[in-house]
Structure 1
Amino acid sequence: MIKEVRETFNDNFKQEYYNSLKNDLAQTVGEPCAFRISETPFFISKELKQEVFDACDSIIEQLWKIDFGEIRKKFIPKELQSPSTLGNPHFLAIDFGLCDDGQGGIAPKLIELQSFPSLFMYQSLLGNAFLKNYPQIPKEGFHFYFNDLNDISYLADLKRVIIGDDQPEHVVLLEIYPEKQKTRMDFWATKQALGIEVLCLTKVIKEGKKLFYEKDGKKIQINRIYNRVILDELLQMPDLKTDFNLTDDVDVEWVSHPDWFFMISKCIMPLLTHKNIPQSFYLNDFPKDLDLANYVLKPLFSFAGKGINLNPTFKFIEGIKDKHNYILQSKVKYAPIIKTPSGANSKVELRILYTWNDTNNRLMPVINLTRMNKGDLINVSYLSNDDWVGSSISFFED
């Protein structure tokens, strides 16, 4: 997006820089990353930055006009609702595809949004690893943090949100078999930085309404859960043996409450309007004269279907029984905007990450996550067999 910065980066790229970056990250957390890291960050101009945050501000403003009580009843089966106090959503991720605007330019288009924690600690490590190992990255005038945050204040913000007023030993990062998750690098980085335990759901001890875990032969009470368990993933493990379920009524503080995962998600996209938001319809309520060639079919949650259908047909739709669990979303055309040594340019998806700020009583942007690919789906699970694709971060022009 910034021609001179991209050209300087590409002209001075060396494979040894990339190898050093990966080695740095592996040494920091104790193992190599389980997903592919791109060779390059992305550089975003002031103009594109402004357009991205104008869209983000509009989305967040519209969020608080939604009746989430009604959304909760409509989209979360009663048996999957957690009885714990809902509270505020501690996290928000807003995903944009950087797309061809049809006029030779680039426009951010909303792909999805999710009130669930992403790779907050890993992204900080990745941004600093790029700065450390790539001398051609500008050291001034570009930042991957937002709101004037730096390494120290960003870590303080995560401590405030995740640990709160509690002691680290009473706070756990909860996952299902965390050592097997592709995102585990973020878990280990979070443990190192915050001093909290990474705990498998199967290791939680429940006594009445209180939760505990064992460490060094000592039973420690859990007061606060930094929740990384995705409930619809858990539902695909019916034989998993646990003392505790996310839907139990227990004396803990959730960061964030499990129900926010469902309530701020693709399920509200048909309710949002903005020039950077593709038109969406619920599958059980869409115009019958819709040209499906211009739409993609998406399940709201993975327990509702097996994935995205890029080329839905009326016949295929007729065979879906739980139509309320799907949306049709207007297709967007990702722009191949990152020049790469191979000649095939990479496409970009940009995720703006927010944390809840009690002082301002609102969600505030803190850092970003960027993904690159050369195929149809921008996802580290669907990478093309190429280089200059994968997990990355964007540096925004001041």
Structure 2
Amino acid sequence: MIPAQRQKYNQEFTAEKYEKFMQELQADYPEIPFRVAETPIFIPKALKEKLIAAGNEIVSLIKQPNFKALTQNAIPAQWNVPNENDQPHFLTFDFGICKNEAGELTPMLIEMQGFPSLYGFQIHLANTYRESFDLDNTTSHYLNGFDEEKYTGLLKKVILGKHQPHEVALMDVDALNQKTAIDFLVTQKMLGIKILALEEIKQVGKQLFYEENGKLIQLKRIYNRLIFDEVAENTAIFKNSFDPRQELDIEWVTHPNWFYRISKYTMPFLDSEFVPETRFLNQVDSIPADLENYVLKPLFSFAGMGVIIDVNEADIKGIKDPENWILQRKVSYEPAVQSLDGGVKAEIRLMYLWADGEEPQLCINLGRLSRGKMIGVRYNADFDWVGGTIGFMEQ
């Protein structure tokens, strides 16, 4: 999207460079199970400023004093975790890159989460792109004046809080077998924290422990990467570890309730040029005549699961819990990233860190490229110049 950067990159690109890039990216780590794109996204200053403005509007809503009251029904009763804190520690907003009526590139909100993303891996990815493809320093993957030292310091502050690294653990169901395991490993290398599968954590009274060298070590803070939707059909797994839904002497980064509060559930409350028309399905009085221009999304799902793209009236009438669905106007992605053989659609995720008692900080980003019907990696398995990437922003 920065013409000079794109032209130079494409002219100098070779399959051999990409292969070497992937070797460097995976050196010292297990093979990455998701596709990494052949290119970063070069974001011009005008689009960067729109992304920042769009993010600011969403942050303003989240910081409203009534936000918790507004989103109380977002949390499923069976997954409401006690001792919720006053703020999330992570905010991620996904924007499709589109064209507005004036023909300018503009972001449109697709998804939002109060949950961590690849906060460690994106640094490693950006640095490897720069080294492997000999990129200049006129762009940055950081925002808001951040650099690697400042970013790493804030990430450490957010995840560790007031504790020592051995008292903090990154937790997921089967952590090292998750698709995002490389992010877990990069984060561990940066911060020195433990990576624990759920079943490696044991409960004694209200306290949580893990075993190391035959000794029990108390956990004070959990960097939570467990999405409850993933274990909804297998809650027996908690019997071999601990049930997060009870009173525990533990700090959450971030507390599980924020995953629901800041989600698709929040989108109907946003009124912005950067947010497509979104309504709770149970509040739709009449089905739109141009239903082909809408998409139907379940509130409680992840990675695009359950989304109905080509909606018809029968789909809507067949929904038994309309309060748990949204009807959203479709977003038309602009194939704005030029590959070697045509345009590719792009999505940019703005990633914020929010330390306890401080203000949210926009720090870094994540990109995804797509030629498929949807952006997610699983929908682009048979294409090249698609997959996970990062935006290099014009300074």
TM, length-normalised to structure 1: 0.95
For 1:285, the equivalent position in structure 2 comes to: 283
For 2:325, the equivalent position in structure 1 comes to: 326
For 2:178, the equivalent position in structure 1 comes to: 181
1:252-291 per-position Cα deviation (integer Å, ceiling 9, x unaligned): 1110000000001110100001111100000000130423
Alignment partners' CA distance in 2, 1:159 and 1:65: 27
For 1:2, the equivalent position in structure 2 comes to: 2
For 1:171, the equivalent position in structure 2 comes to: 168
One-letter code aligned to 1:132: E
One-letter code aligned to 1:123: Q
1:375 aligned residue (364, 369, 372): 372
One-letter code aligned to 2:313: F
Cα distance, 1:321–1:289 mapped onto 2, change above 3 Å:
closer
1:34 to partner: Cα distance: 1.2
1:134-175 per-position Cα deviation (integer Å, ceiling 9, x unaligned): 12x222x21001222222221111110001220000000010
Alignment partners' CA distance in 1, 2:390 and 2:366: 5
Q: Judge conservation of contact 1:23–1:32 (CA < 8 Å) in 2.
A: no
1:358 to partner: Cα distance: 4.9
3-state SS in 2 of match to 1:247: coil
2:268 aligned residue (267, 270, 273): 270
Alignment partners' CA distance in 2, 1:56 and 1:260: 17
1:230 aligned residue (213, 227, 230): 227
Alignment partners' CA distance in 2, 1:321 and 1:18: 48
One-letter code aligned to 1:161: V
3-state SS in 2 of match to 1:130: helix
For 1:85, the equivalent position in structure 2 comes to: 84
Alignment partners' CA distance in 2, 1:356 and 1:306: 28
1:380 to partner: Cα distance: 1.4
For 1:252, the equivalent position in structure 2 comes to: 250
One-letter code aligned to 2:264: K
For 2:22, the equivalent position in structure 1 comes to: 22
Cα distance, 1:384–1:311 mapped onto 2, change above 3 Å:
same
For 1:133, the equivalent position in structure 2 comes to: 132
Q: How many residues get paired?
A: 392
Q: Judge conservation of contact 1:86–1:259 (CA < 8 Å) in 2.
A: no
Alignment partners' CA distance in 2, 1:85 and 1:44: 37
For 2:155, the equivalent position in structure 1 comes to: 158
3-state SS in 2 of match to 1:339: strand
1:59-88 per-position Cα deviation (integer Å, ceiling 9, x unaligned): 111222363433453122333111123232
Alignment partners' CA distance in 1, 2:324 and 2:240: 28
3-state SS in 2 of match to 1:270: helix
3-state SS in 2 of match to 1:284: helix
For 1:243, the equivalent position in structure 2 comes to: 241
Alignment partners' CA distance in 2, 1:200 and 1:91: 21
Alignment partners' CA distance in 2, 1:112 and 1:157: 24
Alignment partners' CA distance in 2, 1:66 and 1:96: 25
3-state SS in 2 of match to 1:362: coil
Q: Judge conservation of contact 2:113–2:262 (CA < 8 Å) in 1.
A: yes
Q: Judge conservation of contact 1:44–1:395 (CA < 8 Å) in 2.
A: yes
Does residue 336 of structure 2 align to residue 352 of structure 1? no
3-state SS in 1 of match to 2:27: helix
One-letter code aligned to 1:246: P
Could you tell me which runs of 5 or more consecutive residues in structure 2 were left unpaired when the two chains were aligned: none
Cα distance, 1:126–1:65 mapped onto 2, change above 3 Å:
same
Alignment partners' CA distance in 2, 1:77 and 1:108: 30
Moved segments of 4+, more than 3 Å: none
Q: Judge conservation of contact 1:22–1:32 (CA < 8 Å) in 2.
A: no
Alignment partners' CA distance in 2, 1:300 and 1:284: 12
One-letter code aligned to 1:277: V
The percent identity for this pair of structures is: 39
One-letter code aligned to 1:18: Y
Q: Judge conservation of contact 2:157–2:355 (CA < 8 Å) in 1.
A: no
Q: Judge conservation of contact 2:346–2:369 (CA < 8 Å) in 1.
A: yes
Alignment partners' CA distance in 1, 2:208 and 2:11: 55
One-letter code aligned to 1:16: E
One-letter code aligned to 2:280: Y
One-letter code aligned to 1:120: Y
1:26-75 per-position Cα deviation (integer Å, ceiling 9, x unaligned): 114x2121111001000011111111111111111122236343345312
Alignment partners' CA distance in 2, 1:11 and 1:306: 37
Q: Judge conservation of contact 2:72–2:261 (CA < 8 Å) in 1.
A: no
Alignment partners' CA distance in 1, 2:364 and 2:132: 20
Cα distance, 1:217–1:185 mapped onto 2, change above 3 Å:
same
Q: Judge conservation of contact 2:202–2:242 (CA < 8 Å) in 1.
A: yes
Q: Judge conservation of contact 2:141–2:390 (CA < 8 Å) in 1.
A: yes
Could you tell me which runs of 5 or more consecutive residues in structure 1 were left unpaired when the two chains were aligned: none
User: RMSD of aligned C-alpha atoms?
Assistant: 1.6
